[in-house]
Amino acid sequence: MKTLVVGTGIIGTTWGWALSNAGINVTHLVRPGSKDRYKDGVMLDLLEGRKGHKKKNVVKYNLICVETISASDPY
């Protein structure tokens, strides 16, 4: 399954990371001229509230970004 997340704000990035970790192919739609900004990925500082899990996690999320989509894109 291919999923398109609109934007790279805190919610879109967190959802993109979570879906990606679940094995879903995630692509982020970003504003024109912004794609290169994410070429090295982003660092996420995550706080885990569930028992038995590591409380604090710092992970790198390598985003796949596009600046345009067309009607033929399979999202």
Whole-prediction pTM value?
0.86
Residue 69's pLDDT band, with cuts at 50, 70 and 90, is very high
Predicted confidence at residue 24, as pLDDT, reads 97
d(Cα 2, Cα 46) in Å, to the nearest integer? 24
pLDDT value, residue 51: 85
Could you tell me which residues are beta bridge partners of residue 26? 3
Predicted local confidence at residue 9, as pLDDT = 95
pLDDT digits (tens, 9 = 90+) for 12-51: 999 999 999 999 999 999 999 999 999 999 999 988 888 8
Identify the pLDDT of residue 65: 97
